[in-house]
Amino acid sequence: MLKEIAKRRVVITGAGLVTPLGRNCGETFDKAAQGCSGIDYITAFDTAGLPCRIGGQVDDSWLEGHEGAWQRFPSRGLRLLRTAAREAVGSAGLAEIQRRERIGCAIGFHGDNPSVPDLLLLHRHFDGNALDMHRIAAEGTYPATNFLARKPDVAVSLMATSLDCGGPALSVTSACAAGSQAIGEAFRMIRNGSADVMVAGGGDSQLNFVGFIGFVLIKALSSKYREPQKASRPFDRKRNGFVMSEGAGIVVLEDHDHARARGARIMGEVLGYGASADAYRITDTHPKGLGACIAIRAALDDADLAPDDIQYINAHGTSTTQNDLTETLAVKEVFGTSAKQIPLSSNKSMIGHTIGGAGAIEAILTLVGMERSIMLPTINQEFRDPKCDLDYVPNEARLQAHERALSNSFGFGGQNACLCLGRYHG
């Protein structure tokens, strides 16, 4: 019995995206295949005086509003998630599934940051030593829902409530690996029989003053760019930090037999998942990419595949000096002499870094790429870095069939996740 459960195949029956490149999967993929950049000067808040003034914003008119269960939480990150979820559950036909307690949710999200008006309000009631809580309570100026909107776990609650999913609910907060990890853990829940269907993915918006400023202070963002569209340049010698973006990606994962029984359209398969921690430092990746190697190898083992079975890698590729170098080293370590033959590209060169959304967005683009036999490019490849010497699919998309791929996500603080994905064959 256990062995039978372990063999359950997990397929993808729905996907939804909202990114700086497009309002849905098709639009995002098409723009990415043309090598377009979604990066521009930030208009969401005043960036005057900051060394980085660019980001990947999603057009506000593309986002869902705040109806129903979501009404009290007018948070940008939650709106992104809701928009991507609508496309995903629509394409999967989730509503037609009867046993709602067999549908779970796993969402990578980090909660909203306190806004500048929040801070100003609190500051008005601060006497130098403490907050005057009597006055705040008397005036009733601090909305209680603010507290809830800041909580990372609110996303999965809202998702489960609005979609009527009574299965396991999981919040993932592993920074840049959260979207991948949510999909990976959801994949395991189906494989081990805890659920038949999982709504999984992630999203974030850090394009607000408080969210952004932290990344400015730790000097993680690109601050040297001639034009915004050229700033995100993973693996290029002139890379100098990542570009902050907002976006979300949601997939519907489903037990293969369950999907076949209801005649769902199957767009791909999750073959394996690996996770690890660098256990090294908070802001530096392991210099040899040890944690990344562990996650990649674990994903391959889980999928029962050898390195040579992989035909494409969707890189984490952030455009920071450290990540792109250690990711290159890790791929060389795992794939040995074949590393240079495996095309590897970074969607972040076009989309920027959506933090909790990144892993899910990139997994979806990897799946669509396999379906269409297109490998998306890494744009802004102008100055070769001798230490980054793999095939990064430079500047132009490549028409090339591929059946099995990896999608890497390496989070801040050394949290790593790797998904092994496959084109679906009955």
Partner 1 sequence: MKQTLITEQKVFEELKKAIIETLRSDEAAIKTESSLIKDLGAESLDFLDINYRLEQTFGIKMARHFILEHIEEMFGEGSAIDENGQLTEKAITLLKLRYGDVYGDLSEGVDMDAVPTLITAGSMTQGVLDLLDTLPDKCTQCGNADWKTEDGIRIKCGSCSAFATFTNGDDLSKDWLTAVQQEKKIF
- For residue 67, the minimal CB distance to partner 1 (Å) is 42
Active site residue 256: no
| Part of the chain binding partner 1 (CB under 8 A), chosen from 106-114, 133-141, 195-203, 215-223 | 215-223
The H or E element that residue 202 is part of is strand 197-205
Helix (H, G, I), strand (E, B) or coil at 385: coil
State the nearest-atom distance from the C-beta of 50 to partner 1, in Å. Answer: 12
147 binds partner 1 (CB under 8 A): no
Q: Which of 25, 52, 165, 176 is catalytic?
A: 176
User: Rounded to 5 degrees, what angle do the CA atoms 423, 97, 153 make?
Assistant: 80
Q: Could you tell me the smallest distance in angstroms from the CB atom of residue 39 to partner 1?
A: 21
Q: Which is nearer to partner 1, 1 or 217 (CB)?
A: 217
| Interface of this chain with partner 1, residues 49 to 88, rule: CB under 8 A | 51
Count of residues in contact with partner 1, rule CB under 8 A: 16
Catalytic residue among 316, 388, 418, 420: 316
Among residues 48, 130, 144, 217, the one that binds partner 1 under rule CB under 8 A: 217
DSSP, collapsed to helix, strand or coil, labels residue 320 as: coil
Could you give the CA distance from residue 122 to residue 163 in angstroms, rounded to a whole number? 35
Question: Binding segment for partner 1 among 72-80, 245-253, 264-272, 385-393 (CB under 8 A)?
Answer: 385-393
Instruction: Tell me which stretch binds partner 1 (CB under 8 A): 86-94, 185-193, 226-234, 281-289.
Output: 281-289
Residue 109 to residues 22, 62, 181, 198, 424: CA-CA distances in angstroms?
A: 20, 20, 11, 16, 28
Is 353 labeled as catalytic in the residue annotation? yes
Q: Which of left, alpha, beta for 198 (phi over 0: left; psi -120 to 50: alpha)?
A: beta
Which member of 60, 132, 164, 284 binds partner 1 (CB under 8 A)?
Answer: 284
The CA distance from 73 to 70, in Å, is: 5
282 is a site residue for partner 1 (CB under 8 A): yes
139 lines the binding site for partner 1 (CB under 8 A): no
Residues numbered 232-271 forming contacts with partner 1, rule: CB under 8 A: 237-238
Residues near 231 by beta carbon (within 8 Å), at least 6 away in sequence: 39, 54, 222, 224, 225, 243, 319
Contact flag: residue 384 with partner 1 (CB under 8 A) = yes
In angstroms, give the least distance from the CB of 45 to partner 1. Answer: 21
Phi-psi region of 81 (alpha: psi -120 to 50; beta: other; left: phi over 0): alpha
Would you say 269 and 27 are in contact if contact means Cβ atoms under 8 Å apart? Answer: no
CB of 160 to partner 1, least distance (A): 36
CA angle 251, 359, 98 (to 5 degrees): 15
Nearer to partner 1, 287 or 336 (CB): 287
The DSSP code for 19 is B
Contact of 264 with 254, CB cutoff 8 Å? yes
Q: Are 274 and 302 in contact (CB under 8 A)?
A: yes
Strand-pair partners of 242 = 221
Cross-strand bridge partners of residue 250: 16, 201
Residue numbers 307-366 binding partner 1 by CB under 8 A: none
Give the nearest distance from C-beta 218 to partner 1 in angstroms: 6
Whether residue 316 lies in the annotated active site = yes
Tell me which of 137, 387, 389, 401 binds partner 1, using CB under 8 A: 387
List residues binding partner 1 (CB under 8 A). Answer: 51, 217-219, 224, 237-238, 281-284, 383-387
